[in-house]
Amino acid sequence: MSAATREAEQELEASGAVLSLLHEAATWLGASPAQAAEAARTGVIELESRSIAVAPTPDEDVLVLSTALPADWFDTPERRTAALRACTALLLQAGVAYGRTLTGPALMCRWSLAMADAGLFAGWLRQFAAMANMLVAGAGEATASVPSKGAA
């Protein structure tokens, strides 16, 4: 494949250093060479049943990570209030926050490229995916235990 063809297929706009970091981190996480190349091409890493989108800021000093949450995450005023309250603790304690993307609710965080080490980044990706899965599982358990408005 020619360099021009590869560039035409590239979806993630990032420097070679960022693309290399994504490729190496995916490899650290057990991706095949083809999967690691796809992660660098698209900016999406598949991990622990999650798709984690990665994009650099314009000056490439930080990567922004995002993973989808259930579509109904912010559906009711009660859920929005609970998410806002939880967001403060999540941001202070874990460096993550809830957000709304073009595709719906998401858990988001940032990772400084000052630590451009694939092993460290891979470890953070694994923790981020695990945290998202834990929050979704916990929300499901909390929703199941909340009585309906008509219950006494």
pLDDT digits (tens, 9 = 90+) for 90-148: 988 889 999 988 889 999 999 999 988 999 999 999 999 999 999 999 875 544 333 33
Calculate the average pLDDT of the chain.
86
Q: Is the pTM of this model over 0.85?
A: no
Mean pLDDT of 77-98: 89
Pair 27, 36: CB distance under 8 Å = yes
- Structural domain includes residue 95: yes
- Structural domain includes residue 150: no
Q: What is the CATH number of the domain that holds 133?
A: 3.30.1460.10
pLDDT digits (tens, 9 = 90+) for 128-138: 999 999 999 98
- Structural domain includes residue 152: no
Q: How far apart are CA 142 and CA 139, in angstroms?
A: 5
Q: How far apart are CA 17 and CA 88, in angstroms?
A: 33
- Structural domain includes residue 70: yes
Number of compact structural domains in the chain: 1
- Structural domain includes residue 148: no
Range of the domain at 101: 3-143
